Amino acid sequence: MTGRTYPDETAGSFPEPPVEFTDGEDRDIRIEESGVDDFDRLVAMYDAFDAADRAQGIPPVKEEAVREWLDTLLSEESVNVVAVHDGSPVGHAILVPDREAAYELAVFVLHDYQSAGIGTELLEALLGSGRAAGVEKVWLTVERWNEPAIALYKKLGFETSNAESFELEMAIRLS
């Protein structure tokens, strides 16, 4: 047992994919549910991922490790959404089930697509897709220095559930 706590109140509403929008750089982005059909496209995205944007050891660096990692993430139990620009993934967000009937959240956006609103739209669509799939509780960890991410998570309804380690743990209740 982790002792993780979740808010008593459920979060507000979130859109379900597909979601189409124009990002802050005037690019047409489509967010859609993702699965094993996107495997090779996601491998290519993670191959292009900037080393400086890796956190907590993920995504993995080498292609073989990325493939093994994606095998787990794209399982039927997980919830995946992908942001696509000009036919290629530029962002990926995932809810992975844990051993305590909750889901861990992870989100990745290619460097050239960051700070354009894609992460926000990606997370909202992921949470909408998660709620539709029956996900009740979601948690994540974020490095304490990552103030933009923390502000975004709070805006979406996440609350700090554990601040006793190097990283903050945050949680949200979807239903």
Nearest to 116, CA basis, from 18, 20, 29, 17: 29
Tell me which residue has tokens 């109140």.
9
- How far is CA 145 from its chain centroid? 18
Q: At residue 90, what is the residue type?
A: V
Identify the DSSP state of 51. G
pLDDT score at 162: 84
Q: In this predicted structure, what is the pLDDT of residue 106?
A: 94
Judge residue 77's burial from the number of C-beta atoms within 10 Å of its C-beta, 0-12 exposed, 13-18 middle, 19 or more buried: exposed
Using alpha carbons, select from 18, 4, 16 the residue that is nearest to residue 127.
16
Q: What are the structural domains of the chain? A: 19-94+106-133 (3.40.630.30)
pLDDT of residue 2: 60
Q: Could you identify the residue written with the tokens 């050239």?
A: 112
pLDDT along the chain (175 residues), means of 10: 82 96 98 91 91 77 91 93 97 95 95 95 98 97 90 96 86 96
Copy the structure tokens of residue 95: 């809810």
Dist CA 126 CA 79 (whole Å): 7
Query: What's the gap between Cα 22 and its chain centre?
Result: 19
Residue 61: per-residue pLDDT? 85
pTM of the shown model: 0.93
